Structure 1
Amino acid sequence: MIYPIVMYGDPVLRQRGKDIEQGTDIKQLIADMMETMHAANGIGLAAPQIGKGIRLFVVDGSSLEEEPGMENFKKAFINPQILEETGTPWDFEEGCLSIPNIREKISRKEKLKIRYYDEDWNLHEDTFDGMQARIIQHEYDHIEGKMFVDYLTPLKKRLLKSKLADISKGKVDTEYRIIAPVKR
């Protein structure tokens, strides 16, 4: 099932997601999130972006084949916890399915260590770097109630204010279904 994507301005995007009770069967939700993400041409999707305030996100970087190691980077992260972020911060232009048609350079550390459960409730503690780390950091921010525009300077935020207001009203062109908070 393909969910509509929740747009900027919806309160669910600003709330810290709740932990999912261990053992809960969420395989169908994960499959639906993957389908939703692919239908919107995304490489990551967090549960708050489909209106669910829980600690879950999915990633699939296989479309970034020019990036080394991305061809098999497809997984779900349940109740993740970033344990550490290290390395030199690097800038990269990020976008977000909940903030369509806006891309900005964001600085993030190059490496992270994360603990999470997979869809079979196996516990993992893994280290990721480069583009994999960036995608995880972006999606992790969503389950913490944070968005990439929060990293922008006050001037950049002011320059984007009217575009963000339009997005929150649903006045935006996308290739995918959306839910605008003002229209709810």
Structure 2
Amino acid sequence: MKLPVYLYGHPVLRAISTDVTPEYPELKKFVADMWETMYNSDGVGLAAPQVGRNDRIVVIDADPVADAFPECKGRKFTLINPEIEILDGPVETRNEGCLSLPDLSESVPRVEHIRLKWVDDDFQPHEEEISGFLARIVQHECDHLEGKLYIDHISAIRRQLLRAKLSAIITGRKRVDYPVRYAPQKGRK
């Protein structure tokens, strides 16, 4: 089932997510719905807060960007309760976009090398060192679990320059091709 993507300004995007336990109701169905939603929205990653749930769940399929970033070839994950450790290495600034901030992109500095620990949707543990653009995707999606958006990593001046576009998203004047949920407004359901 395609779920609506919650857009910038909705409070669910700013809440810190809670850990998921094996007793999570209908976990596999929810994860399948997240995959369908991500693909329907042309994303490479989606975090549970983006579909209205503050649970520590992320899906990533980085393969669509593998032509430009070979480390993404064939990389598909379901991350439950992911933990990131920043490893030594360079910080790279690259453009990022987000399904919750449609039609916007900004240059965001991020480390290029991380260690990722998670469990999959069968609660089997995994640990891996990840580098390059794939590390950026993982960090971006895991930021959602902490109530952070990529625009939190840009300068105050850049955010000020985006103010009108952000306001259009918040007030529901921004239209997109996938189902969305706008921020609550007085007089709007």
Q: TM-score range by the shorter chain?
A: over 0.9
* Equivalent in the alignment of 2:37: 36
Say whether the 8 Å CA contact 1:78–1:117 is kept in structure 2: yes
- Which has the higher mean CA deviation after the structures are superposed, 71-80 or 92-101? 71-80
The amino acid across from 1:177 in the alignment is P
- TM value normalised by structure 2: 0.93
* Equivalent in the alignment of 2:166: 164
Gaps of 5+ in 2: none
The amino acid across from 1:45 in the alignment is L
Which residues of 2 match residues 44-123 of structure 1 at below 5 A? Answer: 44-66=45-67, 67-123=69-125
Secondary structure at the counterpart of residue 81 of structure 1: strand
The amino acid across from 1:54 in the alignment is D
* Equivalent in the alignment of 2:176: 174
Say whether the 8 Å CA contact 1:10–1:180 is kept in structure 2: yes
Number of equivalences? 184
Say whether the 8 Å CA contact 1:47–1:56 is kept in structure 2: yes
- Structure 2 Cα separation of the partners of residues 114 and 75 of structure 1: 11
- Structure 2 Cα separation of the partners of residues 30 and 114 of structure 1: 19
The structural deviation recorded for 1:23 is 4.8
- Structure 2 Cα separation of the partners of residues 100 and 151 of structure 1: 17
* Equivalent in the alignment of 2:4: 4
- TM value normalised by structure 1: 0.96
Say whether the 8 Å CA contact 2:86–2:111 is kept in structure 1: no
- Structure 2 Cα separation of the partners of residues 178 and 144 of structure 1: 21
Say whether the 8 Å CA contact 1:23–1:121 is kept in structure 2: no
Render the CA deviation track for 1:83-106: whole Å, top value 9, x for unaligned.
Answer: 234310001100000000110000
- Structure 2 Cα separation of the partners of residues 27 and 152 of structure 1: 35
Which residues of 2 match residues 11-26 of structure 1 at below 5 A? Answer: 11-24=11-24, 25-26=26-27
Percent identity of equivalent pairs: 36
* Equivalent in the alignment of 2:132: 130
Gaps of 5+ in 1: none
Say whether the 8 Å CA contact 1:7–1:170 is kept in structure 2: no
